[in-house]
Structure 1
Amino acid sequence: MTNSVSANGAASLWATYELTLNGPSEGNPFQDVELRATFTQGDKTVRVNGFYDGDGDYKLRFLPDTTGTWSYVTKSNVSALDGVSGSLEVGAAKPGHHGPVRVSNRHHFRYADGTRYINIGTTAYVWNLQGDAMEEETLATLADGPFTKIRMCVFPKHYRYNENEPERYPFPVTKTGSSEWTGRFGGEFGWEFDFSRFEPDYFRHLEKRINQLAEIGVEADLIIFHPYDRWGFSRMSPAEDDAYLKYLVARLAAFPNVWWSMANEYDLMPSKTMADWDRFIHITSDNDPFGHLLSVHNCFAFYDHNHPRITHSSIQRSGANLSALWREKYGKPVSIDECCYEGDIAELWGNISGQKMVRRFWDGTVNGGYVTHGETYYNDEENLWWAKGGKLTGESVARIAFLRKILEDGPDEGLDPVKSTGAYRTTIVGGLDNVVLAQLFQPAAGEEDWPRVQAWFATAGQPHRYYLSYLGENQPNEFAVATPPGEKYSATLIDTWEMTEKTLADSVERGDVLHFSPKPYQALLFKRVDGE
């Protein structure tokens, strides 16, 4: 039996290519129909799973990673969908299409085409479920901001300031329950759903927003499960969890700007065991032929980021300076995806100052990690950015943009911690209780009477080329240069709060002493000027 096939336009490198086939709509196509396709180019083979999109439409999505001719053939338990074949000619990538983000140089990130990616995240958990007007406002805010990633949920969220219901749901509603925030973030609220079926329009809307994020250069770090739930989505059966995962990955794996965050605060979901999380990780990665980044975020106890299918450490901690320790422990990029929120709400995690948020970004940076922003300033409409998106009003965003510019002008490989600093040595051994003075300073031969060359402050860079030292809350009035012997560097004083840069010297070398006005939240940047 033949089947007419429609595609979503000409194929191009790193762009989602979609095939639509017509098939049965009776019964429960979400459970009854199996569909997959094999895409082939020479000896390269990519297998993708199809999904039911409602109204008798079945879709297959492919993300080509090479140009040229690809052929495909389908496999299904329904004759109308089985053995459908064809080919596509993949053209060059369109401007701004770089492919999925991958791990690079062990602790950093890079797009699949080799373009550098700097992970500067923000959090707006359910911005995509607030109605068109506010969602478009969020996109405009992101387009004008410094962020290259947004953490966001697939499912709606139940919490304080989140009592509004979404316009649509991921499953058919069979009974409406309560929306009231009573102080508990889980349990029974009277809602019932048919978990054997999906609502395609819910996922189409999510896809629309993911595509719009891609257009403005923002990655979608998708939170697949979370505990903040009045609808029962966190308490589905194992079979329902698995079906949801497979459907979600079939729909979204071909979107280049998707990351898989298996959970927000996995350890607050007592109905899920560690075996469940391991199964979820395997289902997601096994069904994703395009190898997107994958992580598990914690509240208290870390997930084991040594898991071979976890690509990077997604961590909730306020101590971003510990990024250096976690890099060494897990051998992967470190993303501090929750370090508290700039804001003024009552909750302890939601009322740090803009200065403290900026400090945590810098602490993470000079310790070789990446940090994610969030904002929780109260307003009468209860439209808090951390939950619903909208507008940003805090002081940290402009300073984060300033940091991004510094990073963009820095080494393409990213910044790695300088292991000779006292700050690094203290962090790696677990604190001052575990070190002695000689371990902290260890003067080089011939420098024993240079007490000021102590390289105490956390510093990151690339050897013999670039060093960025952050002074944090300290306010020294002088700084002894600790660059490698025999090399000349320019020295720049950075005010991370006032967002200024001042040249202190065009050429300095190890042992020279810089003098400047004492002030907290300054940094020093050294760039090699005499060649390498």
Structure 2
Amino acid sequence: MKTFIAALLLALVGSPLGFAQIKESNSNGKKDVVRCQQWEVVDLVYKLGRDVFDPFEVKAYAVVEDSADTQRIPLFYNGDDEWVFRYSSATVGEKRFAIESELEDLNGKKGRILVSENQKDDRHGGIVLSEEHPDRLFYEDGTHYFNLAFECDWLFALDYGNGNIKKTEHLLSLLNQYGFNQIVMNVYSYDVSWPKDPRLAENPHHEFGGREDIFPFLGSNSDSDYSSLNVEFFRHFDKVISEMHENEIVSHLMIYVWNKLVAWPEMESEADNRYYDYVIKRYQAFPNIVWDVSKEALHRTRATKEYISERIERTRRVDSYDRLVSVHDYGFCRNHPDEVDFISMQNWKHTLYQHMLEAKNEFPKMPIFNIEHGGYEESPYVVFPGAYANAEACLRRNYMCLFAGGYTTYYWQGASWNALIYNPYEQPDDFIKPKFEYFTHMRKLFDTVGFENCEPYPRGNSSGYNLTNKEDGIIMLYVPKENHYASPKVQISRDFNYENATQQWFNTLTGEFTEEVPYVYKDLGFWDWRPWRYEADAIFIVRGLEAK
């Protein structure tokens, strides 16, 4: 079933309040009832037909009640004398709502919303925490969320001004097809401060930095007017977030970014607060939202820890859906773990696995998410080479994060920053294509091993990386392609009965599994132990183990 934002125009001029359908709403002609599915996003649009002074500062809330809960959801101003009540529900049943507002035209308006059970097979709700598995992320329906992210900071700009989002649709469909389920992105970025590849100037259709026609405030980044917000910017952004929701891709939404030359208003100014609150009001109803206050949150050019703390508190006050909140700064998360829902890391060091492991040991009851590990896979343009650009090396660093018990993010230089190639596989043969398929294989593997039950087991690393699922009797041992021999035999002999166990290998580059055969306990196996030696990193998998 197609995701939609159903808009119901509430005519308030010269007639009693009534619902008039302008997009599909499944209302069956009942003017006082809105029908939607679980986790579907619906807009109820109230058009007043008159100007309102300082409309972004108007206080308006929809108080939604059912037999179990009450929710107070802020409306947002959408330009053209429109206020929008945007809604989604994780629970089924009848909801009744009433508008509370200082505007007499809105105050006291009522309605009903009938929420039916979700019918979209791949939709599982918002991202939440679990008491049973506090170091893992889950969907609202209890399914584990294997957080596999893709950085695309300039996604907001891809189709801006086109009248459609065809390029965005293509890119999102591609990412969905290859197994990515999150995009780390900015609400807005202006440009990069580092040198640009001269080849970008020869292909301006791939350059999205420095555009003066895109700005969330009035004016432009170079000639800013903070007196109001640019509603057209957010109307376009609605389409992007909605299409992500259709593709079941989470928006890890960084509300600020300090090092991309944005002319932000002064911290905690009226304009700053207006912008921040508006983003929270407008996008909180989307189940595919995770909040992040800022990319490089404590970057030296802006912000303080007190300011970031205030923004987090502000987020929780405005967001009636309690979406997860983090901050793209490990130092802040480490010093303020009680303020965030999961730990965000940025670590480029060669010893990445060890640092991820240290973070997991320090915060055993919180998910660990490495947003930047210094692996920025090469593209036709050298956009930001970081510490690693080779595709296999970047893939290995993603596996390091996973085998340390954390989640990870993939960067391709052709889409992560100001250079944005939305259709990489339609480019000329001599263009360097991204290795998205590596991550399809990764998803295929981890969909079979119960990652929510997996824990790193450093004592069993041997000369690889050990990840063990004791509950389901699975041991995985990640072995670099240069490695001749690593073995989980000591761990197996100590902790498990292995009479009924099986073994097989997984090729991280091709996704190939070897035949699953009975597990063979060997003292030594240097000469015949592993396939694809020198060709590909591989993972040795033992299944069917029984705990002693």
Q: Which residue of 1 aligns with 2:378?
A: 343
Alpha carbons of structure 1 residues 474 and 6: separation in structure 2 relative to 1, 3 Å: farther
Alpha carbons of structure 1 residues 296 and 510: separation in structure 2 relative to 1, 3 Å: farther
2:402 pairs with 1:390: no
C-alpha displacement at 1:282, in angstroms?
A: 0.7
Q: Which residue of 1 aligns with 2:397?
A: 360
C-alpha displacement at 1:129, in angstroms?
A: 0.7
C-alpha displacement at 1:304, in angstroms?
A: 3.3
Alpha carbons of structure 1 residues 466 and 166: separation in structure 2 relative to 1, 3 Å: farther
Pairing partner for 2:103 from 59, 68, 78: 78
C-alpha displacement at 1:116, in angstroms?
A: 2.4
Q: Which residue of 2 aligns with 1:452?
A: none
Alpha carbons of structure 1 residues 386 and 485: separation in structure 2 relative to 1, 3 Å: farther
2:347 pairs with 1:317: yes
Q: Which residue of 2 aligns with 1:524?
A: 540
C-alpha displacement at 1:234, in angstroms?
A: 6.1
Equivalent pairs, count = 479
2:327–2:344 Cα contact (<8 Å) kept: yes
Pairing partner for 2:112 from 79, 87, 96: 87
C-alpha displacement at 1:13, in angstroms?
A: 1.2
Q: Note the alpha carbon deviations across 1:298-321, whole angstroms, 9 max, x for none.
A: 3x8454364324111121113541
1:33–1:77 Cα contact (<8 Å) kept: yes
Looking at structure 2, the residues matched to 253 and 346 of structure 1 have their Cα atoms a distance apart, in angstroms, of: 32
Pairing partner for 1:486 from 484, 497, 509: 497
C-alpha displacement at 1:416, in angstroms?
A: 1.6
Secondary structure of 1:372's match? strand
Q: Which residue of 1 aligns with 2:478?
A: 470
Secondary structure of 1:263's match? strand
2:217–2:228 Cα contact (<8 Å) kept: yes
Structure 2 gap ranges (5+): 1-11, 26-34, 160-164, 197-206, 425-431
Alpha carbons of structure 1 residues 6 and 292: separation in structure 2 relative to 1, 3 Å: farther
Looking at structure 2, the residues matched to 333 and 242 of structure 1 have their Cα atoms a distance apart, in angstroms, of: 29
Secondary structure of 1:233's match? coil
Secondary structure of 2:362's match? helix
Looking at structure 2, the residues matched to 121 and 260 of structure 1 have their Cα atoms a distance apart, in angstroms, of: 14
Q: Note the alpha carbon deviations across 1:113-132, whole angstroms, 9 max, x for none.
A: 11222111111101221224
C-alpha displacement at 1:280, in angstroms?
A: 0.5
Alpha carbons of structure 1 residues 103 and 68: separation in structure 2 relative to 1, 3 Å: same
Looking at structure 1, the residues matched to 516 and 118 of structure 2 have their Cα atoms a distance apart, in angstroms, of: 44
C-alpha displacement at 1:147, in angstroms?
A: 0.7
Pairing partner for 1:99 from 119, 125, 134: 125
C-alpha displacement at 1:385, in angstroms?
A: 6.5
Amino acid at match of 2:243: Q
Looking at structure 1, the residues matched to 99 and 515 of structure 2 have their Cα atoms a distance apart, in angstroms, of: 63
Please identify, of 410-419 and 368-377, the stretch whose mean Cα deviation from structure 2 is larger.
410-419
Looking at structure 1, the residues matched to 545 and 19 of structure 2 have their Cα atoms a distance apart, in angstroms, of: 60
Alpha carbons of structure 1 residues 304 and 389: separation in structure 2 relative to 1, 3 Å: farther
2:306 pairs with 1:271: no
Looking at structure 2, the residues matched to 162 and 395 of structure 1 have their Cα atoms a distance apart, in angstroms, of: 19
Q: Which residue of 2 aligns with 1:129?
A: 157
Q: Note the alpha carbon deviations across 1:80-104, whole angstroms, 9 max, x for none.
A: 1111112121111131332101123
Q: Which residue of 2 aligns with 1:448?
A: none
2:139 pairs with 1:111: yes
C-alpha displacement at 1:373, in angstroms?
A: 0.4
Looking at structure 2, the residues matched to 351 and 362 of structure 1 have their Cα atoms a distance apart, in angstroms, of: 14
Looking at structure 2, the residues matched to 232 and 5 of structure 1 have their Cα atoms a distance apart, in angstroms, of: 41
Report sequence identity in percent: 18
Structure 1 gap ranges (5+): 178-189, 378-382, 424-454
Pairing partner for 1:146 from 179, 187, 191: 179
- Give TM-score, length-normalised by structure 2: 0.80
Pairing partner for 1:157 from 161, 182, 190: 190
Looking at structure 2, the residues matched to 234 and 351 of structure 1 have their Cα atoms a distance apart, in angstroms, of: 35
2:441–2:510 Cα contact (<8 Å) kept: no
Secondary structure of 1:271's match? coil
2:220 pairs with 1:206: no
1:31–1:196 Cα contact (<8 Å) kept: no
Q: Note the alpha carbon deviations across 1:395-415, whole angstroms, 9 max, x for none.
A: 542112111100011116342
2:59–2:102 Cα contact (<8 Å) kept: yes
2:69 pairs with 1:53: no
Written as runs of structure 1 = structure 2, the 5 A alignment for 1:371-410 is 371-377=408-414, 387-392=419-424, 393-394=432-433, 396-410=435-449
Pairing partner for 1:22 from 47, 54, 60: 47
2:445 pairs with 1:413: no
CA root-mean-square deviation: 2.8
Amino acid at match of 1:252: Y
Written as runs of structure 1 = structure 2, the 5 A alignment for 1:248-327 is 248-268=279-299, 270-298=301-329, 301-304=331-334, 306-319=336-349, 320-321=352-353, 322-327=355-360
Q: Which residue of 1 aligns with 2:224?
A: 192
Secondary structure of 2:64's match? strand
Pairing partner for 2:90 from 56, 65, 77: 65
Looking at structure 2, the residues matched to 6 and 250 of structure 1 have their Cα atoms a distance apart, in angstroms, of: 24
Pairing partner for 1:171 from 204, 217, 222: 217
Please identify, of 156-165 and 105-114, the stretch whose mean Cα deviation from structure 2 is larger.
156-165
2:190–2:211 Cα contact (<8 Å) kept: no
Amino acid at match of 2:292: S
C-alpha displacement at 1:334, in angstroms?
A: 1.1
C-alpha displacement at 1:258, in angstroms?
A: 0.9
2:467 pairs with 1:460: yes
1:12–1:93 Cα contact (<8 Å) kept: yes
Looking at structure 2, the residues matched to 72 and 80 of structure 1 have their Cα atoms a distance apart, in angstroms, of: 16
Q: Which residue of 1 aligns with 2:65?
A: 40
1:368–1:417 Cα contact (<8 Å) kept: yes
Secondary structure of 2:322's match? coil
Secondary structure of 1:349's match? coil
- Give TM-score, length-normalised by structure 1: 0.82
Looking at structure 2, the residues matched to 304 and 490 of structure 1 have their Cα atoms a distance apart, in angstroms, of: 40
Amino acid at match of 1:417: P
Secondary structure of 2:348's match? coil
Pairing partner for 2:277 from 246, 253, 256: 246
